[in-house]
Structure 1
Amino acid sequence: MFFKTLDVRNILLFLTLAGFPACHALAHEADLQNSKDHIFSTGEKIHITVLNEDDLTKNYEIDDAGMILMPLLGKVHVAGLRPSKVEMFLTQYLQDGYILHPVISVNAPSVPPLQSRSFYILGEVENPGRYTIPEDNLNLLNAVALAGGFTYRANKEEFEIMRNKGEQKHHTKNNSAKAALRPGDLIIVRERFF
């Protein structure tokens, strides 16, 4: 009886280990597809490779305006675009007097999982809590709408945003409802004074 159990265990172990590389390959393939389908947004990093151009090949951070700053080209708008569209634009820009036949590859160094693309909204909104930033950019006013809108006591003119930057947390009072959100942001809608 012991040998039969041992044989079954060995067979199960073998089948599990034999299937692991296939599962890993499928997960890697899904990551590649997610990277190609990814839409860049503010606060993310974008990796650009320009063949034989070490000065241009690196990770760039997308600023609040949706731009990256590249040598030779200056500011280039990439937020809201997929990697293939950014490749096409950069190829066109670099062919205009900089590089004869540029070969460019663009991808997200790591497409964040859905859970890490969340933000928090507290205070004078109908449904405070955690929400997920959709693929396209989200601004403060959209965040309030996701949370069910303002309560009647809400100060609709001023929001407080707490944002992690490295090891520090930054507090910002922002009067612009169009300010872009980043993953991990905490928005506080205060009560207005009557």
Structure 2
Amino acid sequence: MDMPSDSMKKALTIVSALFLLDACSTAETAPRGEAAYAAIPPAPALASDYRISPDDVLRVQVYHEPGLSLEDAQVTAAGMVRMPLIGDVPVAGLSAGEASDVIAGRLGERYLVSPQVTIFVKKAVGRRITVDGEVREPGLFPIDGRLGLLQAIAMAKGPTRLASLKQIVVVRQADGMRKAAMFDLSAIRRGEAPDPEILPGDTIIVGSSRAKAILGGTLLALPAIGAGFVALEGGR
């Protein structure tokens, strides 16, 4: 009988890893390497249309010029990144590709011939959500990768003891309008309702009374609509 090929061996390893997970694997039997990433995929990469924000941390690489490259360049509150030779360069609001072109253009004006610049966003502080209302530690929280409502509330140390778990409002800016939906956290915890995905820029408010205080009277008639979003009056 022919020996299995390398690709077949990898496939068998992945299938075995998934079987182990299905059978309540322990730390010793948990899959590793390629099999681990087959079972639990890595977080998606930062979208190419992401816009650089103040306090983001960038890696700026100038090809063949290590002295001009930066490993941890933090964008200032004014939206600038400080580069050797050319000083402060405005990058806030630009994509990584656009910022690379701006820096390359500045370097090419006086110092380098056809410089090649690559920017990688190491820490995307601009990908933030707001969690408010009846939670233990309300505030702004940076997010990386995908995030569910349960995780988002956990980032604020969870709801308070008297929180209204059936009245979790998620507010999202979409298509030029502010939209909102109300979710039942208790049902999500019990697995009776899906855990909605939270996106950068979303505001989560625990408790409808707090939501009304923050958003005004726009939520007075808002139903518990699960995964759907309803446009708020005056949201444009």
Greater relative contact order, per chain length (Cα 8 Å cut-off, separation 6+): 1
| Structure (1/2) with the larger strand percentage | 1
